[in-house]
Amino acid sequence: MNPWAVFILALATVGGIVGYTQYSKLSSLAENLTVDFKARIHSMDFSKVKFAIEPLLKNPTNGRIYILQPYIKIFYKDKEIASSQVNDKIIKIEPFNQVPPFTIMIEAPFMNLGGVALELVNKLRDKNVKVKIRVDILLNVVLGMKEPVPERLPEYTKAYQLKAMTISKDQEV
């Protein structure tokens, strides 16, 4: 066999093993990401209710994690009533650290609530009643070997593997 062919085959094999090992490490980092959040009503007027969602992202591992800003959906009685704007912000979480608290505002116009609008508005206006909502947070963890560049975000689907995770939690507001 040609020595160059043997060399290229050995190089490809080593590269595949190293690539798989790195991908496995990044994938396990993503699985250990801890997400908690608080949901509250920020404001309400005659046309809409505005929810404030405060995600708390923690990295309990010794590796740096990059995620795209969470995409959030809010449900009332299994009906989606609002969702956040898609944002291309990249969040870096250092090893054994957490992201400083931040708030994502989500508006739910009453015109979009359909049959649950009147019931939801009446419950939200009554201060003695707690309204149970479900909040789903979709996180896209960037599984790349180098720090992602925000200007190249549209290319991430080709250049980086994104691992999608959904965290669901019932909250009373």
Task: Report whether 106 contacts 74 (CB < 8 A).
Answer: yes
pLDDT the model gives residue 143: 65
Each residue's pLDDT tens digit, 123-171 = 887 778 888 888 888 887 776 656 666 555 555 444 445 556 666 667 6
Q: Which position has the higher pLDDT, 31 or 79?
A: 79
- pLDDT score recorded for residue 105: 92
Give the global pTM. Answer: 0.71
Residue at token pair 């009554």: 126
Q: What CATH architecture does domain 3-172 belong to? A: Sandwich (2.60)
pLDDT averaged over the chain? 76
**3-state SS, one letter per residue, for the chain:** CCHHHHHHHHHHHHHHHHHHHHHHHHHHHHHHCEEEEEEEEEEECCCEEEEEEEEEEEECCCCCEEEEEEEEEEEECCEEEEECCCCCCEEEECCCEECCCCCEEEEEEHHHCHHHHHHHHHHHHCCCCCCEEEEEEEEEEEECCCCCCHHHHHHHHHHCEEEEEEEEEEEEC
- Residue-wise pLDDT for 97-119, tens only, equals 998 888 999 998 888 777 777 78
